[in-house]
Structure 1
Amino acid sequence: MELQNFDSAAFLRDYWQQQPLLIRNPWARWANPLEPDELAGLACEEEVEARLVTHTADGWQLEHGPFPESRFAQLGQKDWTLLVQAADHHVPQVAELIEPFRFIPDWRIDDVLVSCAADGGGVGPHFDQYDVFLIQGLGTRRWQIGARCDENSELLEHGDLRLLARFEATQEWVLEPGDILYVPPGFAHNGIAIGDDCMTYSVGFRAPSRSDLIGSWSDDLLEDMDDDDRYADPGLASQPNPGEISAEAISRLHSLITEKMGDRDAFARWFGQYNTTPKYPEMDWQPDHAAAAQDIARMLANSAPLCRNPASRFSFIRQKTGAILLFVDGQEYDCDSESGEFAQQLCQQTELVADPALASSQQVVQLITALVNQGSLAFEESD
């Protein structure tokens, strides 16, 4: 899938993280990748994160899945929305919706949330802290865009939903199947279904907060710190006032922190693992039987196609030496020149046929074996 007549460079220059943009059906041929009944089936699964938002005279209500099948028969014809998070992890056709937006680095991609709403359904006026492309899959939805919001914007008193207390639309569009609305972080927006079976695919992008980065990086550093690594001041000189914390002491104390926190190479390794940690780490994607290296080499030699698990996250960092650090699902792999080139291919392509000559590369075979056995990669063998 790809976007037709869409200038990604102009989009990044003029709209990305700046202002909303409506993109009228840019697909060569749009086909809705998931039916409403299929989405409802996913919402019944134990391992799937699903929510149901209803709006009645009593206000907004939120229910968490998994849901019994009987719940959907009770919903009625109006004012409800079913949302399934990370549907791309479970439905390859939904995962394909990410590909057209990979002009944005993969490490920023979060997942694809899918919603299905009855007439009048929505989740209320709100704002998010991430970029999102809202793709109309089926039916029709009216989208309203409001002003930019922040932590000072007034919210309704609701224990489960972060809804704006005041919302005034400044722009409004009706989206038909295949249309896309880009909404940057912080912009208030409100989507209302027009008619039945209104399906929207939200391709969302992560933006780690400063507090998350500092907190998580600090926690990781603390795990490996030695309690004997303490402040020291040999050659201490007497000072006129013992109550003063001297500039020299502050500098030494400060360096105790900054020497560790400021290690860029260590931070890069940590961030690669942190950022590729699966969205649902409790899910086990490992194969029933571990693959042996000789089996991997044989399939490589036979040009068996490789495909990435849609739920897996692949990224790499290029070191100053030119070596490649590959990160997959929170695991780090140091790659030599041959396996490094292959690692870059893995990060660029979700499906590929590797050069059969790589079957003789021990590093590449070991890398693929590890990725297959952790459930991040798989071979597609012909019948």
Structure 2
Amino acid sequence: MDIHEPLPLLGGLTPERFMRRHWQKKPLLVRGAIPGFAPLLDRAGLFALAGREEVESRLVQHGAKGWTLRHGPFARRALPPLSRRAWSLLVQGVDLHHDAVHALLQSFRFVPDARLDDVMISYASDGGGVGPHFDSYDVFLLQAHGRRRWRIGRQRDLRLQEDVPLRILADFAPEQEYVLEPGDMLYLPPRYAHDGVALGECMTYSIGFRAPADGGIARELLQRLADTAEDGLGAALYRDPGQLATAEPARVPGAMAAFAGRALRRLLDDPAALDCALGEILSEPKPQVWFGEGGDLPDGAGVALDRRSRMLYDAGRIYLNGESWCAAGRDARLMQRLADARRLSAREVAAASAAARALLAQWCEDGWLQAQP
């Protein structure tokens, strides 16, 4: 993608200018972001996805008794009739299960893949929505079918309603209102309050982004580093030949605390280990993702990443689906090309070293790559 080329998707802004002016700063409304856009998945197809065990789905309803929330999977008969007002079906990660939706997600790769999360599709009957709320991450709201009225605002009061199964703001103060038609799109930065209500039957695609919390990413890093701690540090035992007899046997020895601190600092002071752990974490597929048996890599074929595969790289390694490999020179450039383009031509595969071709073949067998003509 040329980040200096204006995109209709961004209202004629270049990705570079959008990121500088709007990303995590202020909303952007784009009329006709995708002219003539129609749902990539029809209502029946979306309902069928919501009935699958490996697909995350939620049903939100609002009625006389207030808000209700149920988690899927949902058999079709478990969903309300289409004529009933004010209900929404939210289906997460549709890009993992549908090629066209996955292709739509690729349009937003002017943001690093490490931040790109998934496409959620919301189906709503007339009056349906999830209430005024805010997200902790950036989101693009693309109208696919019907119309939805959005009210948005820079919310200062983030208190939530009590005894409600959803994170609904207690005192929503909207500042602007838009009605989105098919192909229109609204970008909202994190914590920008919004409330979307369906005006008749509608479908909205939410392109969301990952925003790990510092506590969460630190915990994951420590857990992953701990798995390799003995390899990284060896198995040096604590020794205390100078320990004196003590009348306070329950007191933790200061020397033991210092020993533990030195071990932890040595682990955290290894930039390569930290980079490796971070890359493996960020490329880890979602828990509900699994890969079936793959196939061979025939001679003269190219390859493409399976839509469920997450591939990243840094200066010294490549990362694919939670695993990592050291890479340098021509093979590193080839793998970086695969990660950025999500495919390699037959000519590029043929030019790879024997070791790189063997790795590509293994990934095909694992189902992480698909052979291409």
| TM exceeding 0.5 | yes
1:158/1:374 Cα in 2 relative to 1: closer, same or farther (>3 Å)?
farther
Q: Please tell me whether residue 225 in structure 1 is matched to residue 260 in structure 2.
A: no
Structure 1: which amino acid aligns with 2:168?
L
Aligned pairs for 1:88-167 (under 5 A) are: 88-148=95-155, 153-158=158-163, 160-167=165-172
TM-score under structure 2 normalisation? 0.87
Q: Equivalent residue for 2:94? A: 87
Please point out which of 343, 346, 351 is paired with 2:335: 343
Whether the 8 Å contact between 2:149 and 2:178 is mirrored in structure 1 is yes
- For 2:356, what is the secondary structure of its paired residue? helix
Structure 2: which amino acid aligns with 1:273?
E
1:224/1:315 Cα in 2 relative to 1: closer, same or farther (>3 Å)?
closer
Q: Equivalent residue for 1:322? A: none
Whether the 8 Å contact between 2:147 and 2:181 is mirrored in structure 1 is yes
1:253/1:365 Cα in 2 relative to 1: closer, same or farther (>3 Å)?
closer
Q: Equivalent residue for 1:242? A: none
Please point out which of 344, 357, 368 is paired with 2:360: 368
Q: Report which stretch shifted further, 27-36 or 117-126.
A: 27-36
Q: Please tell me whether residue 269 in structure 1 is matched to residue 276 in structure 2.
A: yes
Q: Equivalent residue for 2:248? A: none
CA–CA separation in structure 2 for the residues paired with 1:202 and 1:104:
15
Q: Equivalent residue for 2:191? A: 186
Render the CA deviation track for 1:311-349: whole Å, top value 9, x for unaligned.
Answer: 111111113xxxxx1111111122342321221111111
CA–CA separation in structure 2 for the residues paired with 1:282 and 1:138:
28
CA–CA separation in structure 1 for the residues paired with 2:112 and 2:352:
32
CA–CA separation in structure 2 for the residues paired with 1:37 and 1:171:
34
Please point out which of 205, 220, 226 is paired with 1:216: 220
Q: Equivalent residue for 2:291? A: 284
- For 2:229, what is the secondary structure of its paired residue? coil
Structure 1: which amino acid aligns with 2:270?
D
1:271 to partner: Cα distance: 0.8
1:38/1:262 Cα in 2 relative to 1: closer, same or farther (>3 Å)?
same
Render the CA deviation track for 1:256-284: whole Å, top value 9, x for unaligned.
Answer: 43221232110110111111110135523
Whether the 8 Å contact between 2:82 and 2:125 is mirrored in structure 1 is no
TM-score under structure 1 normalisation? 0.84
Structure 2: which amino acid aligns with 1:342?
L
Render the CA deviation track for 1:193-252: whole Å, top value 9, x for unaligned.
Answer: 1111x1111111101111011111111222333596566678899xxxxxxx99999877
Q: How many residues align?
A: 360
Structure 1: gaps of 5 or more residues = 238-244, 320-324
1:17 to partner: Cα distance: 0.7
Structure 2: gaps of 5 or more residues = 245-251
1:345/1:82 Cα in 2 relative to 1: closer, same or farther (>3 Å)?
same
Structure 1: which amino acid aligns with 2:183?
G
Whether the 8 Å contact between 1:231 and 1:256 is mirrored in structure 2 is no
Q: Equivalent residue for 2:77? A: 70
Aligned pairs for 1:252-331 (under 5 A) are: 254-281=261-288, 283-287=290-294, 290-291=295-296, 296=297, 298=299, 301=300, 304-319=301-316, 325-331=317-323
1:55 to partner: Cα distance: 0.5
CA–CA separation in structure 2 for the residues paired with 1:159 and 1:169:
21
Q: Report which stretch shifted further, 365-374 or 216-225.
A: 216-225
Render the CA deviation track for 1:62-91: whole Å, top value 9, x for unaligned.
Answer: 111111111235353310111110000011
Q: Please tell me whether residue 41 in structure 1 is matched to residue 48 in structure 2.
A: yes
1:58/1:281 Cα in 2 relative to 1: closer, same or farther (>3 Å)?
closer
Structure 2: which amino acid aligns with 1:185?
P
CA–CA separation in structure 1 for the residues paired with 2:298 and 2:104:
32
CA–CA separation in structure 2 for the residues paired with 1:246 and 1:53:
56
Alignment RMSD, CA only?
3.0
CA–CA separation in structure 2 for the residues paired with 1:28 and 1:351:
27
Whether the 8 Å contact between 1:297 and 1:365 is mirrored in structure 2 is no
CA–CA separation in structure 1 for the residues paired with 2:113 and 2:275:
16
Whether the 8 Å contact between 1:95 and 1:310 is mirrored in structure 2 is yes
Q: Report which stretch shifted further, 100-109 or 360-369.
A: 360-369
CA–CA separation in structure 1 for the residues paired with 2:323 and 2:288:
12
Q: Equivalent residue for 2:66? A: 59
Q: Equivalent residue for 1:169? A: 174
- For 1:310, what is the secondary structure of its paired residue? coil
Whether the 8 Å contact between 1:3 and 1:27 is mirrored in structure 2 is no
Over the matched positions of the two proteins, sequence identity in percent amounts to: 37
